[in-house]
Amino acid sequence: MSLAEADILRRAMGKKDLAAMKNQKVMFIDGAVKNGISKRIAEDIFDAIFKFANYGFNKSHSVAYSYIAYQTAYLKAHYTPEFLAANLKNEFGNSNKVAAFLEDCRKLKIEVLPPDINKPSVYFDVDEKERIRFGMSVIKNVGIGAVEEMIKTKNKLGRNFISIFDFCSHVNTHTVNKRSLEGLVLAGAFDSLDNQRSRLFYAIESALEFGSKVQNSLITGEASLFGGALEKEFRVTEPALPNIEKWGSKERLAKEREVIGFYVTGHPLSKYEIDYKSFATIRLGESEKLEEMDVVRACGVITSLKIKIDKSGKTMAFFTLDDFSGSCEALMFSKTYEQYGKYIKEEECVFIIGRPESSGDAIKLQIEKVIPLDEAREAFTESIRICIDKEKHPVEKISEVRWTLEKHKGRIPVYMDLLSNGTKARRFSLKEYRVDVSNDFVSSVIKILGEDSLSFYSRK
C-alpha cells in the first residue's frame, strides 16, 4: 500500500468506519501477499485490525477507563440526583445528551423542577428532597450576571419574593431586564408565586415600571409618591395582574421549550407514552442506531418547523422531531407533503414512518408517512396485553380490570400475561373480551394496575 492508501486505512480505523474497513480488506490482503506474506497471516492481521477498529483500547487505557467507570457507577448508584445534576450541567450544550439524562430522571422517578426565583441557582441544583432544579443560567436571555444579582438581592432582603412586583422593586432591573424577565416567566421561575404564566407575562412591563418607581423613591427620598416613609414602613398597593386567559398545556410547554431548550414541567408525548413504547422502533436520541436501520417508525413532537418551496414550485418541509430521548432532523419532500402536509404543524404530536439518510456527520429522517398520534393507536393496534402480577395485584384489582374490560367493549383482542414469583409470564387469551382502546380505557387500567401494566401490539 502507498502512504496515501495506508492513511485512508488509518483514518477508517480512527473513525471506526466499518464499511470503509471492509473496502480496505481486499487491498490490504492483496498487498501483503505481493510482499511475500501468506494470505492466512495477512487475513489474521487484518482481522485483528478490524476488531480494534470496531472498539479497542490498549491495556493502560482500559485500566484507567475501568477505574473511572467504577467510580461513576458508584456515584450514580449512591448519589443519583447529584450525579445526574452534574452531568446535566456538564453536557448542557448537547441537546440529545441532556434529553437522555432527563429521560433517566423520569425513569428513576427523580423529579426535575423548573427554575424558581425564591431558590435561585446558576447551575443545576439538588434540594433537600433530592429533586433536581434547573439552573437559571440555562434560560434564554438570563445570564450568570442576572442570576448572581437575584441571589445577592434575595440574601440582602432576607426573605422570599412575594410577587413579580415585589421582585422588580428590589432587583437591579438594568441587570435583570425585560428580556430576562420574559425568559424567567416562560421558564416557570415565578410558578411558586403564581402558576398562571400568561398573566405574569403580560404584567412584565407594569411590574418593571412599578419597580422603577419604588426604587427611585428610595434613592431620591421623594415624598410625593409614598409620603416620605422609610422602606420598612412602605405599604405600597401593587397593581392587579391583568385578566388574561390561561395558556393551555400545549402552549405553555411550547414557550417553556423555547426559552430553556427542553420540556421541563411536562412533555407533549406524556399522554401517548404507551403508544410511544408500543409502536416506535427507534428512540430519536439514539442516532447511532438509525444508521443501521432501513425503515423506522417513530413518535415525536414537531418543532423548529420550516416550510419551503422547491425548484419546481412545490411545498416541502424541514423540521425537528423530539421524543423523550432526544431529537432528530427530518425532511419531507413535496410529493409526501401533498398527502400528509395537513398534519405538519408546530408542537403537533405525530407518528411517522421514514428512512434514515446520512447528512454529513448527522442523520436525517426522510419522512414517507405521517399519522396524528391520536389516530395511530386505532390504525396500528392489533391486540393488547395486560400484565398482572399475583404478588402485587390482589383479587380485588383483577375484578376491577374485568369490570373495565366489560365497560369498554370494542374490536381489539385482549391477552393477559400472568406473573407469579418472578417466573416467566404465562399468557392467556381472554376470548370473551374485545375492547375499545380509548384514552379512558388506558387511564383506567393504569390506575388499577400501575404503569407498565398495559401494552399494545401493533400491525407490522
Question: What nine digits make up the cell of 397?
Answer: 384489582
More confident site: 33 or 222: 33
Average pLDDT over residues 14-31: 81
Q: What is the pLDDT of residue 233?
A: 47
Q: What is the pLDDT of residue 349?
A: 94
pLDDT cut 70: percent of the chain above it: 95
The model's pLDDT over 363-403, given as tens digits with 9 standing for 90+, comes to 889 999 999 998 988 888 999 999 988 888 888 888 899 99
Q: What is the pLDDT of residue 459?
A: 65
pLDDT band at 460 (very low <50, low <70, confident <90, very high): low
Which CATH architecture fits 278-373? Beta Barrel (2.40)
What secondary structure, in 3-state letters, does the chain show? CCHHHHHHHHHHHHCCCHHHHHHHHHHHHHHHHHCCCCHHHHHHHHHHHHHHHHCCCCHHHHHHHHHHHHHHHHHHHHCHHHHHHHHHHHCCCCHHHHHHHHHHHHHCCCCEECCCCCCCCCCCEECCCCCEECCHHHCCCCCHHHHHHHHHHHHHHCCCCCCHHHHHHHCCCCCCCHHHHHHHHHHCCCCCCCCCHHHHHCCHHHHHHHHHHHHHHHHHCCHHHHCCCCHHHCCCCCCCCCCCCCCCHHHHHHHHHHHHCCCCCCCCCHHHHHHHHHHCCCCCCCHHHHCCCCCEEEEEEEEEEEEEECCCCCEEEEEEEEECCEEEEEEECHHHHHHHHHHCCCCCEEEEEEEEEEECCEEEEEEEEEEEHHHHHHHHEEEEEEEEECCCCCHHHHHHHHHHHHHCEEEEEEEEEEECCCCCCEEEEEEEEEECCCHHHHHHHHHHHCCCCEEEEECC
All structural domains of the chain with their residue ranges: 3-54, 111-260, 278-373, 377-458
The answer to whether 287 touches 363, Cβ cutoff 8 Å, is: yes
Q: What is the pLDDT of residue 220?
A: 64
Query: In whole numbers, what is the pLDDT of the chain averaged over residues?
Result: 88
pLDDT cut 90: percent of the chain above it: 55
The answer to whether 219 touches 212, Cβ cutoff 8 Å, is: no
Average pLDDT over residues 274-294: 83
Under 8 Å CB-to-CB from 379, ≥6 apart: which residues? 371, 459
pTM: 0.77
Give the torsion sign (CA, 307, 301, 202, 134). Answer: negative
Q: What is the pLDDT of residue 218?
A: 72
Q: What is the pLDDT of residue 54?
A: 72
The model's pLDDT over 129-176, given as tens digits with 9 standing for 90+, comes to 999 999 898 899 998 999 999 999 999 999 999 999 999 999 999 999
